[in-house]
Each structure stands twice: as structure tokens, then as C-alpha cells.
């Protein structure tokens, strides 16, 4: 460790000149190392190895020459991550949706992970402690802890599947109009309140095998009628007559037999 009070060589005797020069050279080659900042004259961008810290800290005088900038700890690679692989002991933050990229074998393409465009608060997803079983998927407990769970895929074709727990289909609210539309892609069940004499048009996106219920309610006036598209088939070939009371509720249960034939069962006047 060596430091010099200045870097200006004064006129002096040969022995004194040599001694001062050696002091300055020692300070230069040791980067002014010492347990306190160099005394005397300092210069912008002047280096200093601060040995008062463990490990020592490499500092550089700022451009205004009125303070020190801490550059790095004096450890392997100055504490910087090696391109060939490093271990991080603290959190890593990638700003502005910068992503983590996993390149393929020849690094021509990659798979990336990145943050959503906007989130209202920070949250952490904690990976499970062990791998799951085949065909399991990641799930969350609602608090950020991830785990593996088994799910029955909608495309499952294996016979004899058992589902534990409730299975529910939503009830789609149909828009009341002279001609009522029902898109079967929106759901299996539907409901509509009639405010006039209406026609339930043939559904769109009819899929063979789909089943469900259509709830038909009278408004507060009642006495509304409902006609049906020709895809709706009722027993005996006769369309039902709705209950006419104010706010009366009827139900049609259906199964799609073909894309042009929906088998229907009508039940009247629920209360």
C-alpha cells in the first residue's frame, strides 16, 4: 500500500528527487491503496483502492473532483458476472419488460419470459419444490405458490373418466329482440326475459352432442309468445305454449342431435 501527497516533482537534490519519485511510482502502481483516502492534492478520475473495507473497494474520483465513485469490490472479476456462468446471491431486476431468453442448440432462436405490460403491484411466483407427474399442469394457490395438479383435459377421449368436485356451466343472458339470437359457443345454458312476442332463431355454432337448458321468462306484463327456428324439435312435432303469467318462468332442456335438429323438452311454469 502506498500513497503520495501530490504528483508534482519539485527541484531538489538527487537523493531526495529519487525518494519522492519512488513514492509517487509506488502510489501509482498500487492505485493509491490505503485505509483512508489519499491526503494532499487530488485529481479528477484519480483511482483509490480503499483497504478499510472487506474486501477492499475500488473507487475513482469524480469529474468535479469533489467526491469518490465506488466502482466495485476488489474480488474476482471485480464482482462482475462472468459471461461463462455466475452465481448471484441477490435479487436480479430486469427493467422495462426486458426478458430472459433461453436459446436453442445453435442459438438461432429462443424462448423468452417477460413481465406483463402493466401490473398494479409486485408479486412473486414461487416454483414447486419437485417435479410433477406426467400430464400434470402448474397451478397457483392464489398467494403465488405454484404446484403441480392433475386436470381432465376438455379434449380427453379416454373412456371411464371420473371427475371429482362440481362441474358448472354458465348461464348466458340472451338479448331480447324480435328475433332472439343464441350463439352456442357462448355457453350451454341461456336465459332471456321476453318483453314482446318473439322468435327464438336457430342457434349459431351448433355442435352435435351439446346439451343444456334455456330459461324463458315473461316480463312484468306477461302474455308474451315465443316461436322457434326449425332446428328446434319438440315431441309430437308441436311447439309448446309458454306460461302467460307475469314473470312466469319456463324451461327448455335440449340435446343437439345433428346440426339441424335440436331435441327439446319443455317444462312450464316454475315457481
Within-domain flag for 128: no
User: Is residue 140 in some structural domain?
Assistant: no
The whole-number average pLDDT for the span 232-259 is 97
Quote the pLDDT of residue 147. Answer: 94
pLDDT band at 159 (very low <50, low <70, confident <90, very high): confident
In a domain, 142, yes or no: no
Of residues 212, 239, 204, 208, the one with CA closest to residue 225: 239
Q: 472487506: which residue's cell?
A: 54
R_g (Cα) of the chain, nearest Å = 40
Number of domains in the chain: 2
Give residue 88's pLDDT.
83
Confidence of residue 155 (pLDDT cuts 50, 70, 90): low
**Can you give the pLDDT at residue 152?**
65
Residues contacting residue 137 through CB under 8 Å, at least 6 positions apart: 148, 149, 151
Q: Does position 117 have pLDDT exceeding 80, yes or no?
A: yes
Boundaries of domain holding 72? 14-77
How high is the mean pLDDT of the chain? 92
Residue 108 lies in a domain: no
Q: Is residue 109 part of a domain?
A: no
pLDDT more than 90, % of the chain: 73
Q: Where are the beta strands (DSSP E) in the chain?
A: 47-50, 57-61, 68-73, 100-103, 110-113, 137-140, 146-149, 171-173, 179-180, 189-194, 198-200, 211-218, 226-228, 232-234, 249-258, 261-270
The answer, yes or no, to whether residue 126 has pLDDT greater than 90, is yes
Pick from 55, 77, 99: which residue ends a domain?
A: 77
Residue with cell 348461464: 171
- Kindly list the distances between the CA atom of residue 232 and the CA atoms of 187, 198, 224, 254, in Å, as whole numbers in the listed order: 17, 15, 19, 9
The pLDDT, as a whole number, for residue 75 is 85
* Mean pLDDT value of segment 214-228: 97
Residue 154: its pLDDT value, please?
62
- The C-alpha atoms of residue 28 and residue 3 are separated, in whole angstroms, by 8
For residues 47-75, average pLDDT: 92
The pLDDT score that the predictor gives to residue 239 is 96
Global pTM value = 0.49
Last residue within a domain, chosen from 77, 103, 128: 77
- Return the pLDDT at 81: 78
pLDDT value of residue 271:
83
**pLDDT reading at 260 higher than 90:** yes
**Higher local confidence (pLDDT), 77 or 70:** 70
- Residue 87: name the closest of 75, 101, 95 by CA: 75
Which of 51, 77, 103 is the endpoint of a domain?
A: 77
* Residue 5 banded pLDDT, cuts 50, 70, 90: confident
Q: Is residue 3 part of a domain?
A: no
Amino acid at each position: 500500500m502506498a500513497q503520495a501527497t501530490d504528483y508534482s516533482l519539485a527541484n531538489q537534490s538527487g537523493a531526495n528527487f529519487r525518494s519522492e519519485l519512488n513514492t509517487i511510482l509506488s502510489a501509482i502502481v498500487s492505485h493509491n491503496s490505503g485505509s483512508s483516502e489519499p491526503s494532499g492534492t487530488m485529481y479528477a478520475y484519480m483511482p483509490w483502492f480503499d483497504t478499510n473495507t472487506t474486501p477492499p473497494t475500488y473507487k475513482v474520483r469524480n469529474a468535479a473532483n469533489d467526491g469518490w465513485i465506488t466502482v466495485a469490490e476488489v474480488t474476482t472479476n471485480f464482482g462482475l458476472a462472468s459471461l461463462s456462468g455466475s452465481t448471484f446471491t441477490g435479487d436480479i431486476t430486469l427493467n422495462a419488460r426486458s426478458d430472459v431468453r433461453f436459446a436453442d442448440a445453435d442459438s438461432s432462436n429462443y424462448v423468452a419470459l417477460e413481465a406483463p405490460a402493466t401490473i398494479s403491484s409486485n408479486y412473486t411466483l414461487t416454483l414447486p419444490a419437485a417435479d410433477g407427474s406426467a400430464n400434470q399442469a402448474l397451478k397457483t394457490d392464489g398467494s403465488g405458490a405454484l404446484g403441480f395438479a392433475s386436470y381432465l383435459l376438455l379434449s380427453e377421449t379416454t373412456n371411464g373418466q371420473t371427475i371429482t368436485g362440481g362441474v358448472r356451466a354458465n348461464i348466458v343472458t340472451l338479448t331480447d329482440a324480435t328475433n332472439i339470437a343464441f350463439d352456442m359457443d357462448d355457453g350451454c345454458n341461456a336465459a332471456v326475459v321476453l318483453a314482446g312476442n318473439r322468435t327464438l332463431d336457430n342457434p349459431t355454432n351448433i355442435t352435435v352432442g351439446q346439451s343444456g337448458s334455456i330459461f324463458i321468462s315473461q316480463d312484468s306484463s306477461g302474455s308474451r309468445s315465443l316461436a322457434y327456428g326449425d332446428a328446434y324439435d319438440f315431441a309430437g312435432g308441436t311447439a309448446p305454449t309458454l306460461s302467460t303469467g307475469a314473470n312466469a318462468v319456463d324451461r327448455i332442456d335440449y340435446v343437439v342431435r345433428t346440426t339441424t335438429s335440436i331435441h327439446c323438452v319443455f317444462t312450464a311454469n316454475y315457481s
